[in-house]
Chains A and B, each alone.
Chain A
Amino acid sequence: MGLKVGIDFGTSNSGVAIYRNGRIELLPIDRQNVVPEVVKTILYITRDYKVAIGQEAAEHYYKDNVNRRRHFVKKWVGEIDFHGGDMFYVRDIYVYVDELQPGRLLQFIKTGLRSPHYDGTQIFDRYYRLSEIIQVYLKELKQRAEKILDEPITSVTLGRPVKFFDDAEKDRKSENILKEAALSAGFEQVDFEFEPVAAAYYYERSLTRPQNVLIFDFGGGTLDITIMRLGDPGQRKVYATGGIGIAGSDFDRAIIQKRMLAHFGKGEPDLGVEINDLIDSLTDWMVIPDLSTPHARLILEQAVLHRRAPVQMRMFESLIFNDLAFAFYNTVELTKIALSDLGASVLAFSGKDIELWELYTRHQFELDILDYQEQIRAVLINAINASGLEPGQIDAVVKTGGSSNIPIFTQMLVKLFGKDKIKESDAFNSVTAGLAIKASLET
């Protein structure tokens, strides 16, 4: 009989753990990472369909792509029928494809489960459905875990957000996609647990008496709130759950939109609609590979030639044509993380034809995410109301997930519950550890 593990398949980071002999073992899946027990949820697939995940994927991507050459060829992808009045005609559709592209990097894979229209993506000659993309990632996680444990793994307890969608039908569909991916990855038995509930299991180990606990699980893709009775495994009770699709990646986007786009020409006069649309697209990392077309290069070169914001245009061109976008997004994220400890940080980024310097303060960051703060406060209040408990009846608030370290949200929790009730949990590993505990219970 094979082993059973817990896997936290997160939006930004993932992890694998096993509970045995009364101990939680967090597996060092990504030995190249600073914290080997945390593996970035990124996937790199090369032209010959070799797969890398985590830090290896990032390094492979950098090595293959930064400052590389490109060769665009026009490829026929299909045709569109036009019907109008008594007219009917067919038009061929072509796209420009970079023949020399060595691989595709996929990030925020999990957000696909929250997008009702996302079905999958073309990777060179193959179309990958969302479940297949996730399967490739989970399979690699499984193989690495088996290598560490030196035993086959047959079952898994997978974490999932409290809600993929408000609509129950859509929510079930997303869970099924995740299940299908896990089964195809080679797990024979798959069950699920809500991520904040898993974090609660982990916290429960430190309790000596029963408590009402609010789990504030705030990661890269979602905020999940669970209010539970913990401390007596026989009397566990979920009072309420709540959540919202706002988290770390949205804050990164807000920083880019409000602070970075000006460096690439946003707000400069005479740039035209096309260039402004291109600049606006920068907020979405996933579309950046599609921006590097010959036409985009042409209009940017023309802007430089006619001295329309030439420095900004040259930087923009460098960002999209030298595949620096991934590094740029990482820099933005690191600047944001630095603001959890300091009142100010500098977002400095340089590469070929590009140099950015932006002094960014915590005050500015809090201004930039003000709308989100309001929404998060509302979700938190709703969850407390739904639990039927008063804030005073909640004994502890457990923070988990990278975004839970953002000071403004800690302050929000302190104001509502008091400083003494706020408990720090392992920001990146508590969900993984809790899933391992749950997996052992299922066994």
Chain B
Amino acid sequence: MVTHEKIEEWICEVEERPSSAPVIIRYIANRLSELTRRNQELLADNIALRTDKKVDDYENRISNLEYQVGLLKRQLSEPGLIDSSSPMIAQHESAILFVYNSKGKILKAVIPVSTLESGKAVAQFITGENWIDADTPMFVVVNSREELLLIYDSGRTMTLNVDDIPANDATQLDWQHAYLQEPRSGEALVAIMPVAKMGLFDYALQISRRGFVKKIMEGSFESFIANNFIGAGIKLTPDKPFGLIFAKKEDNLVLVSREGFLLSMDVGRLPFAVEEILQLSTNDHLEAIFVVSKSTPTEVKSSFLVMTEGGKVINRNLSWIEPVSSFRTRGQSLFSKEKRTSGVRVVGGGLAQDDDWGFALAISGQITCHPIKELFSTGALPNPPTGLVGFSLLKK
């Protein structure tokens, strides 16, 4: 506010130092010119409001936004369903398989969806090579439009487009030909997660191998990954980040451990600081995470599927899951204690429907694809392999 007192003080300045006069006049003139321009803009806005032109503008913008939402829904195939757990893919697209290890070596295989057949070996590591070295390879399937987030155990992250990583010959996967995103000294690559849909959700949930969870608001998460650092999300030294998943406020997070324990919790109850949600035994760790959306229409709320190391399928209706309300609980058991003692272990899983595909990475280095409908009906992979290393789902 320009008051009389201030004007008097400006005059005093000019009287004391006449050289200040042109400086003051220039500042005031610039300000007047700026205010005049703004006044004209406001007057123009007023006229537009009175002649309804502004209303037309707003209506046009609303129509445009509605059109964009419609487009997005069509892109995601299922009306009302936005699932962050597994990628979705159209018939004309390709499934992109990534096998990677803690040293930052990433192998990519591109498999056109039209070529998928039940039980078909879609990719194969070079036979005879000891392709599993000190650490177990990790495995993820995404669609070709995804953005990938590489998470290191230090909490550092890196974003890459699927196209940034060169494709390998799917029939001769070989670590020697892998794309390398070398971790920094003392660091290990722990997860590659698809993140293209993050804008559609309220939260990013960061989950550790030992069942610790941290909830990050979507806006903050975007700024974190822009800074290439989301934090390790762990509390115990031997623990490591497991992965990330996106969820809406009203969704339920589901964690599945290697020893077959499952825990579900309302996303609203999850903490912003790192807390232990699922209490695991000393040797246990997480193998699968997914989100059950309450906004999913009932007809598509089918079931979830868990794959064991021996190729057996555990299939449950979603109504079987009983969400818990307190932290540090053991969760529900997916199979009996006897089976656990005899060595049955989980290698992956998620929400699944009849039309989806499952990809299994065997210890032999072979990756096979399987229609979920068949897995539901047979309860096991055909010709069960000697051991599975990973299992990933692809939604159609």
**Interface of A toward B, CB cutoff 8 Å:** 47-48, 63-64, 68-69, 71, 73, 99-100, 102, 262, 342-344, 346, 357, 359, 361-364, 367
Contact = CB atoms under 8 A, between A and B. Distances in A.
Nearest to B219: A69
Nearest to A362: B13
A343 B219 contact: no
B217 A69 contact: yes
A64 B231 contact: no
B219 A363 contact: no
Contacts of B6: 359, 364
A362 B155 CA distance: 50
11 contacts: A68-B220, A69-B217, A69-B219, A71-B272, A99-B273, A343-B17, A343-B24, A344-B13, A361-B20, A362-B17, A363-B10
Contact of A342 (B9, B23, B219): B23
Given A64-B223, A68-B220, A342 B20 contact: yes
B28 interface: yes
Given A63-B227, A343-B19, A344-B24, A361 B10 contact: yes
A357 B31 contact: yes
Contacts of B23: 342-344
B9 A361 contact: yes
B231 A47 contact: yes
B1 to A, nearest CB: 7
B27 A71 contact: no
A47 B219 CA distance: 17
B65 interface: no
A120 to B, nearest CB: 23
A64 B227 contact: yes
Nearest to B15: A363
Contacts of A68: 219-220, 223
Contacts of A362: 13, 17, 20
B16 interface: yes
Interface in B1-51: 1-2, 6, 9-10, 12-13, 16-17, 19-20, 23-24, 27-28, 31
B223 A361 contact: no
B393 to A, nearest CB: 32
A174 to B, nearest CB: 36
B13 A364 contact: yes
A364 B9 contact: yes
B13 A99 contact: no
Given A343-B17, A344-B10, A344-B27, 5 more contacts: A68-B223, A342-B20, A343-B20, A359-B27, A363-B16
A359 B220 contact: no
Contact of B231 (A48, A99, A344, A367): A48
A262 B27 CA distance: 21
Contacts of B155: 48
Nearest to B155: A48
Interface in B134-158: 155
A71 B10 contact: no
B20 A71 contact: no
A346 B27 contact: yes
Give 7 nearest A-B pairs by CB, closest first.
Answer: A343-B20, A361-B13, A363-B13, A99-B272, A343-B17, A344-B23, A344-B24
Contacts of A73: 272
A99 B220 CA distance: 12
A182 B217 CA distance: 40
Contacts of A342: 20, 23
B208 to A, nearest CB: 15
A361 B219 CA distance: 42
Most buried by B among A71, A100, A344, A363: A344
A103 to B, nearest CB: 11
Given A343-B19, A343-B23, A359-B27, A100 B220 contact: yes
Contacts of A343: 13, 17, 19-20, 23-24
A344 B19 CA distance: 10
Contact of B9 (A71, A102, A262, A363): A363
A49 to B, nearest CB: 11
Contacts of B219: 68-69
A359 B227 contact: no
B3 to A, nearest CB: 9
Contacts of B227: 63-64
A362 B23 CA distance: 12
Nearest to B28: A359
A407 B273 CA distance: 52
Contacts of A262: 1
Contacts of B232: 48
Contacts of B28: 359
B17 A100 contact: no
Query: Which of B13, B232, B272: most chain A CB closer than 10 A?
Result: B13
B217 A359 contact: no
A30 to B, nearest CB: 20
Interface string B206-235: 000000000001011001000100011000
Nearest to A267: B1
Contacts of B2: 359
Contacts of A364: 6, 9, 13
Contact of A71 (B1, B19, B217, B231): B217
Interface in B266-281: 272-273
Contacts of A71: 217, 272
Contacts of B231: 47-48
Contacts of A64: 223, 227
A315 to B, nearest CB: 12
Interface string B336-367: 00000000000000000000000000000000
Contacts of B12: 361, 363
A68 B219 CA distance: 8
B187 to A, nearest CB: 15
B272 A100 contact: yes
A70 to B, nearest CB: 9
Contacts of B27: 344, 346, 359
B24 A359 contact: yes
A276 B10 CA distance: 28
A364 B10 CA distance: 8
Nearest to A358: B6
A311 to B, nearest CB: 10
Nearest to B17: A343
From A71, A346, A363, residue with most partner B Cβ within 10 Å: A363
Nearest to B154: A48
Interface in B216-274: 217, 219-220, 223, 227, 231-232, 272-273
A71 B16 CA distance: 52
Contacts of B273: 99
Nearest to B30: A346
A344 B272 contact: no
Nearest to A99: B272
Nearest to B218: A69
A100 B273 CA distance: 9
A359 B9 CA distance: 10
A47 B233 CA distance: 12
A283 B348 CA distance: 57
Contacts of A361: 9-10, 12-13, 20, 24
Given A68-B220, A100-B272, A367 B24 contact: no
Nearest to B9: A364
A77 to B, nearest CB: 16
Identify which of A68, A361, A363 gathers the most chain B CB atoms within 10 Å of its CB: A361
Contacts of B223: 63-64, 68
